[in-house]
Amino acid sequence: MGKVTATAERTIDAPADKVRALVADYAETRPKLLTEHYRDYEVTEGGVGAGTKAGWKLQATSKRVRDVKATVSEPKPGTLVETDANSSMVTTWTVSEAGEKSLVRIETSWDGAGGIGGFFEKTFAPGGLKKIYDGVLGKLAEIV
């Protein structure tokens, strides 16, 4: 069983402070960013940045649904970490300055399965999740 990691990033045409505020807003902004792969999204505690707790179902493939119960931390400004209570999955959102624009990076990692299933998971899951995150980042670019 090895670590599986999926990453997506995009330059957003807005200052980093504005984008950080949008990304940290789990109550109002985050639902607007979600693609058709997400359902049953609900904030259960907090709503902005560290301390927020939220849950959702992520339909990564036609057969694979993750029931995510995330707790958000902010280890440093511009970095939000969503830790799933139901699995080893950790998603890190990083917003950094790129001149007058922002670079937003989403990275998710989890402990993959062993054996042949783990081989296929490590081979195909990162690309599928990257496509989902590309959609999320596209929606973020539209709303800034």
Per-residue confidence (pLDDT) for residue 113, from 0 to 100: 74
Q: 24 pLDDT exceeds 80?
A: yes
CATH topology of domain 3-143: Alpha-D-Glucose-1,6-Bisphosphate; Chain A, domain 4 (3.30.530)
Tokens 């280890």 belong to 75
Confidence band (pLDDT; 50, 70, 90) for 117? low
- Residues 129 and 133: their CA atoms lie apart, in Å, by 6
Domain boundaries, the chain: 3-143
Per-residue confidence (pLDDT) for residue 118, from 0 to 100: 66
Taking the alpha carbons at both ends of the chain, their separation in whole angstroms is: 40
- Residues 136 and 56: their CA atoms lie apart, in Å, by 15
More confident of the two residues 57 and 128: 57
Query: By mean pLDDT, which of 67-76, 79-88, 109-118 is the weakest?
Result: 109-118
Average pLDDT in the chain: 93
Burial level of 95, CB count in 10 A (0-12/13-18/19+)?
buried
Would you state the structure tokens that stand for residue 21, as one six-digit string?
């505020």
Counts for the chain of helices (H) and strands (E), in that order: 3, 7
In this prediction the pTM is 0.92
- Residues 43 and 88: their CA atoms lie apart, in Å, by 20
Taking phi over 0 as left and psi of -120 to 50 as alpha, with beta for the rest, 46 belongs to: left
Per-residue confidence (pLDDT) for residue 1, from 0 to 100: 61
Torsion of CA 49, 50, 56, 58, to 10 degrees: 90
More confident of the two residues 119 and 66: 66
